[in-house]
Amino acid sequence: MTNDRTPRGKGSEVHGIFEKIAGYYDRMNFVMTLGRHDAWCREVAARVAPPAGGQLVDLATGTGVIALAAARKYPAATVTGVDFSEEMLRRARTKSGADAVRWRQADAACLPFENESIDGITQGYLLRNVEDLDGVLREQYRVLKPGGRVVILETCPPSGLAKPVVKWGVRTVVPLLGQVVARDRSSYSYLESSTLAFESPRHIAEILSGLGFKGIGWRKKFFGTNVILWATKPR
């Protein structure tokens, strides 16, 4: 199945990887974070805080962990889980509570929402996989209502005194886990390289600030290898 939002170029390659890993995506996230991934997703949902009756969009929803956490926390809000992977969305729809979420296939670079129509945006591991980081964040600014918040869960390149050890661990452990847990070393070699090559939280914060976001902050997780960032579109 294809449509006019099917990714091309690098996006097509990334799309293929996520179609391939959908069946063991949750298991790998659990193993790679020593079981902390779900708690981070709940924190992302807690930080977005849409108003009662508001519209919340979870981008790169994958198997829907953040979207489902948001639907449980904000039953009066309308939660839409968006992903470009049909297989990820198929997995999300089978989960307990999935009927409380609207699932929609779309590309984060071209969101199918009107200007200033969304009260809150969440996302997990989207930005490191896009070709135009500034453009994707600009698109989120476009659809957010004034006062709306974006909350981002991302990987974080290692820094500080522990950088050599953490870098070695990411390069060694992630592909190895991909081989042992998922029998798929190549896909997780890509995810390892995209983690190490991704921008720092400070750089993402600078982009958000340049777009007009205010109240920007972040908190690192898991030896500095993951980060939750947040920002608000001013009223």
Task: Report DSSP letters for 56-82, one per residue.
Answer: EEEET-TTTHHHHHHHHH-TTSEEEEE
The region of weakest confidence among 112-121, 140-149, 191-200, 209-218 is 191-200
The full set of domain ranges for the chain reads 10-154+199-232
pLDDT in tens, 124-182: 999 988 999 999 999 999 999 999 999 999 988 877 766 777 777 777 777 677 677 66
Q: What percent of the chain has pLDDT over 90?
A: 64
Q: Give, in degrees to the nearest 5, the angle at Cα 38 between 232 and 53.
A: 45
Task: Report DSSP letters for 100-133, one per residue.
Answer: GEEEEE--TTS-SS-TT-EEEEEEES-GGG-S-H
Residue count (the chain) = 235
pLDDT tier, 15 (very low <50, low <70, confident <90, very high otherwise) = confident
Please, what sign has the CA dihedral across residues 71, 57, 30, 154? negative
Confidence at residue 27, expressed as pLDDT on a 0 to 100 scale:
87
**Annotation: CATH topology of 10-154+199-232:** Rossmann fold (3.40.50)
Q: Tell me which of 43 and 171 has the higher pLDDT.
A: 43
Q: Tell me which of 116 and 184 has the higher pLDDT.
A: 116
Which residues sit opposite 118 in a β-bridge?
Answer: 144
pLDDT of residue 187 exceeding 90, the answer is no
pTM score of the predicted model: 0.89
Residue 108, annotated as binding a ligand: yes
Confidence at residue 56, expressed as pLDDT on a 0 to 100 scale:
98
Residue 83, annotated as binding a ligand: yes
pLDDT tier, 9 (very low <50, low <70, confident <90, very high otherwise) = very low
pLDDT in tens, 48-102: 999 999 999 999 999 999 999 999 999 999 999 999 999 999 999 999 999 999 9
Question: How far apart are alpha carbons 211 and 142 in whole angstroms?
Answer: 10
